[in-house]
Chain A
Amino acid sequence: MSNRTNAVLSWLLVTAGMAAALKVADRVPALLLRAPHGARVYRTVAAAERATGSRLWLPAALPPSVDWPPFRIDAWPGPPLSVALRANQRSAPREHLVIVQSIGAPAPPPALLLEPLQPLLVTDVTVGPHRAMLTRGLEPGGRLVYDLAWDAGTRRLTLRYAGPVEELLRLAASFEREGP
């Protein structure tokens, strides 16, 4: 191998090695937090609102099975900015409710924040004055859940709930009492 080839190969190897090492190190926090890589993670609603500079819409009424406040809030910078509030089930440390809102423009939740469902049944419903889409489907893990999505002004709200559909609809309606 010539001197020049050796120099070029070494440079490529060192540069690629450093880039790979940095990328791996960058994934460690997401792995430790079990959070989507690239999303900003906040502990409280106040911290998320401060960092994003946006007021988050919160439900005015919650089913008794939901352990509130959310245990984690993930923000994806977008555009548009999307924020996911995650709450556990009160009786077990298991994700029970996810509220995703796109801020600034209606947009579907990024897959990083809310994994797409395998739909089983899709129905049109109303949430206050808005038309909404209710999907019954399976999460990648095989759990049966409901997704409810509707646009309200410059936001799209998507709720994923692992409880009864009546509770989900009441929860969604309470946003309309709390929203602008």
Chain B
Amino acid sequence: MPLAFLSQSILHAAVAALFVEALLRAWRIEDGSWRLRFRLLALAAPTLWLPALWILAPFRRSPVFVANWALFAGERWNGIPAGGTGFGDLLLLVACGAGSALFLRDALPPLIDALRGSTRPLASGPWHPTTAGLRGMVAARSAALGIPPPAVRLVDTPTPVLLCEGARDPVLVVSPPAVERLGPDELDAAITHELAHARHRDPAWGYFLIAVRAALFFNPAAQWIARAMVDDIERRADQTAAAVSGHPEGLARAIERLSGAGHPPPIDGHASFERVFWRVRQEGLARRCARLRQAPGPGGVRPSRTLLAAAAIGIFALVFFVV
């Protein structure tokens, strides 16, 4: 029974993720806020809908339903022998391993950093020249975004850091190298991007997503959906920053400068896995910059609640018959 639940959780997340991705592409929905809502529907498949179906529709697990009605039944793959067990169970084991690896890959480094205390606040207070220089810019852009200006915290680290944290009270975290590396337009756009995170309460979204990922650590498809949601959160902040600052090109340059500060992992046997992740991250950043630079193309379907409801019905109808 627990294996059947795990298997359905992975299958439902995979079906929902693919369905939403296909719809986003077919409808050409570029708005970050709407993309997030659609992805949230996909994430609801393994987190809300599956437990509800498990309790409210137990007949889905009956042999008659599996034989006559199921669109896809994971247990059928167990008929194929694979090293003393069923092929379905073997696939489930591999999928759980992949899900756990994806979760640990993203969750462990920040945890280790936090335990090590790798960044520490600068001893200097608001009178520090970096803070003083930023204060006016932060106040102006906060007003434009309709939010109270968040506190600015300087961290003492040689790497450029510019981020927004704090689920309840957002704080702008900055390191001096980040400010020194960026030109005025770039800094303005980058600050506006971080303030857009504060406006949308994105740090709270971050905590929510990490909690869901921890609960579904075994589920590679759910891990993928959560990662795609992080990309959409960044896309939404990019779109807001580009509209408010009026410098999409400056924001793209700022992203390139700040991301260019990191070096690829060394080429040796141990770091090959890390290099794959590094390359994927770099490609993602390149796509983000290209999106900021390109002129808006012919619009797709205008997103609406009706489309969201249609996507929800589609996901529900499909996963109901996946057992």
Taking Cβ atoms with an 8 Å cutoff, the residues of A that contact B are: 3, 6-7, 10-11, 13-15, 17-19, 22-23, 25-26, 28-30, 32-33, 35, 38-43, 75-79, 81
Instruction: State the CA gap A150–B77 with chains docked (Å).
Output: 34
B262, CB-defined interface residue at 8 Å? no
Those 6 A-B pairs whose CB atoms lie nearest each other, nearest first: A77-B63, A41-B79, A10-B26, A22-B72, A38-B67, A22-B71
B317, CB-defined interface residue at 8 Å? yes
Return chain A residues, CB-CB under 8 Å to B311: 11
Return chain A residues, CB-CB under 8 Å to B321: 19, 22
- Give 1 or 0 for each of B82-126: 1 = CB within 8 Å of chain A CB: 000001000000000000000000000000000000000000000
Interface extent on B, as a size class? 20 to 34
Return chain A residues, CB-CB under 8 Å to B144: none
Does the CB pair B310–A11 fall under 8 Å? Answer: yes
Contact partner of A3 (CB less than 8 A), chosen from B22, B23, B301, B318, is B301
Q: A10-B23, A14-B23, A18-B19 are in contact. Are A77 and B301 (CB under 8 A)?
A: no
Closest to B71 in A: A22
B289, CB-defined interface residue at 8 Å? no
Taking Cβ atoms with an 8 Å cutoff, the residues of B that contact A are: 15, 18-19, 22-23, 26-27, 62-64, 66-68, 70-73, 75-77, 79-81, 87, 301-302, 307, 310-311, 314, 317-318, 321-322
Instruction: State the CA gap A33–B72 with chains docked (Å).
Output: 17
Does the CB pair A29–B72 fall under 8 Å? Answer: no
Q: A29-B76, A39-B67 are in contact. Are A18 and B301 (CB under 8 A)?
A: no
Q: A77-B63, A79-B64 are in contact. Are A25 and B72 (CB under 8 A)?
A: yes
Closest to B303 in A: A7
Return chain B residues, CB-CB under 8 Å to A22: 15, 71-72, 318, 321-322
Instruction: State the CA gap A23–B77 with chains docked (Å).
Output: 13
Q: A10-B301, A22-B15 are in contact. Are A33 and B80 (CB under 8 A)?
A: yes
Does the CB pair B67–A76 fall under 8 Å? Answer: yes
Contact partner of B67 (CB less than 8 A), chosen from A15, A17, A77, is A77
B interface majority secondary structure: helix
Does the CB pair A30–B76 fall under 8 Å? Answer: yes
Instruction: State the CA gap A3–B306 with chains docked (Å).
Output: 13
Does the CB pair B301–A7 fall under 8 Å? Answer: yes
Instruction: State the CA gap A77–B311 with chains docked (Å).
Output: 33
Instruction: State the CA gap A13–B25 with chains docked (Å).
Output: 12
Instruction: State the CA gap A40–B75 with chains docked (Å).
Output: 9
Report the minimal beta-carbon distance from B66 to chain A, rounded to whole angstroms: 7
Does the CB pair A10–B71 fall under 8 Å? Answer: no
Instruction: State the CA gap A3–B79 with chains docked (Å).
Output: 46
Instruction: State the CA gap A38–B15 with chains docked (Å).
Output: 21
Apart from the given pairs A7-B27, A22-B322, 20 other A-B contacts in the complex at a CB distance below 8 Å: A3-B301, A3-B302, A7-B301, A10-B301, A11-B26, A11-B310, A11-B314, A18-B15, A18-B318, A19-B318, A22-B318, A26-B72, A26-B76, A29-B79, A29-B80, A32-B80, A38-B67, A77-B62, A78-B64, A79-B64
A-B contacts, 21 of them at CB < 8 A, read A7-B27, A7-B301, A7-B307, A13-B26, A14-B23, A14-B314, A17-B22, A18-B22, A22-B321, A25-B72, A28-B77, A29-B79, A33-B79, A35-B79, A39-B67, A40-B76, A41-B79, A43-B81, A75-B63, A77-B64, A77-B67
Closest to A19 in B: B71
Return chain B residues, CB-CB under 8 Å to A15: 19, 314, 317-318
Instruction: State the CA gap A70–B257 with chains docked (Å).
Output: 68
Return chain B residues, CB-CB under 8 Å to A6: 301
Report the minimal beta-carbon distance from A155 to chain B, rounded to whole angstroms: 18
Does the CB pair A11–B23 fall under 8 Å? Answer: yes
Does the CB pair B68–A38 fall under 8 Å? Answer: yes
Closest to B301 in A: A7
Return chain A residues, CB-CB under 8 Å to B70: 26
Closest to A41 in B: B79
